[in-house]
Amino acid sequence: MGFIGLLVIGTFVAAGSMAGGAGGGGNVGLAKGAVPASYQPLVQKWGNLCKAINPALLAAQLYQESGFNPGAKSPAKAQGIAQFIPGTWATHGIDGDGDGDRDVWDPKDAIPSAASYDCQLAKYVKDAPGDPTKNMLAAYNAGAYAVLKYGGVPPYNETQNYVKIITTLEKSFARPIGRVNPSQQAAGAISYAQRKLGTEYLWGGNGTADQNGRFDCSGLTLAAYRSVGIELPRVANDQYNAGPHPKREELLPGDLVFFSDDLGNSRAIRHVGIYVGGGYMIDAPRPGAVIRFDPVDTPDYFGATRVTEDGAKAIPGKPVEKRVERAEEKPEGPEEPAAPERGAGEEPGAGADEGRERPADGGADGGAEV
């Protein structure tokens, strides 16, 4: 009850909340390390290309499309960090870096092209009722004609899910502009983790009976939040995207705290724990150790996430398939911009190291989905 009382004292403005809803560009910044450092200037610049998008929204879209993997491929032949199919790239790819070519595999071309294409789609559906950014995302997924036909986001489950995923993840990629709401489930997650103190670490451990109830770091945080009805992704670097990011001085019990050797790239996160207050966390630190209290303030401290139910649900396990419109549904007149196919089967974030020290055998990631 003491934790619950602490967690519910005061309600704060949600981090990354966008005035007037999603999109809007302008004064929206990116959360620390949420976008790999090599791509952050591109996303920040091109995310302000038009009013329908902003850097955090563009980052969320790239994460959903490829997990920031510039070499991503899909069975539908979607290619690169923004998952363009060749026909769409031929029409809408731009030379973003001005080097004289348009390379779908080069993020310096593909990220500007994704922003440019978003803005073109926003213009195409500008007369459709509803939120212009949601309509733009729906056009990217289902085709602009579907948005015009249905007067907004079309009634396709996969398209509605695509729009919800990206507009929810937007908050995870946005730099906080104020204190963030405390999680109502945080006390229960801490209580679960406390009951596991002294349990031996197991690389890849999920706490199952056949593993003698043992965990690795992200297995523990997953189980702790699962105990209060929130389903986190399996690997630590995806868990970072499960909500907004409080500053170090704003940490509350229940926040997830992350550690990395690359403090500019959330995809390189290799360890996670649950903050309990007073500068300490509960974590499963490494092989040969047990679940215990550890200090948070170490040189490899990356940042924190205040888990939200919507944020956790939005993290894609498998990319959302694009609905392909039938030819007979095309309007007469100017050709509708074609939306790129979704890349089926890619899962962002595979390969994060689970444990503050990688086991010597260098085997498969204990946090990988199985």
Amino acid at 21: G
Distance CA 274, CA 9 (A): 19
Distance CA 179, CA 201 (A): 34
**What Å distances lie between residue 296 and 301, 304, 310, CA to CA?**
7, 10, 26
168 burial via Cβ count (<10 Å: 0-12, 13-18, 19+): buried
In this structure, are residues 78 and 150 in contact, taking their beta carbons and an 8 Å threshold? Answer: no
Distance CA 138, CA 132 (A): 10
Instruction: Cite the active site residues.
Output: 65
In this structure, are residues 37 and 307 in contact, taking their beta carbons and an 8 Å threshold? Answer: no
271 strand-pairing partners: 259
Distance CA 263, CA 272 (A): 14
Give the helix/strand (H/E) hosting 271: strand 271-277
In this structure, are residues 62 and 81 in contact, taking their beta carbons and an 8 Å threshold? Answer: yes
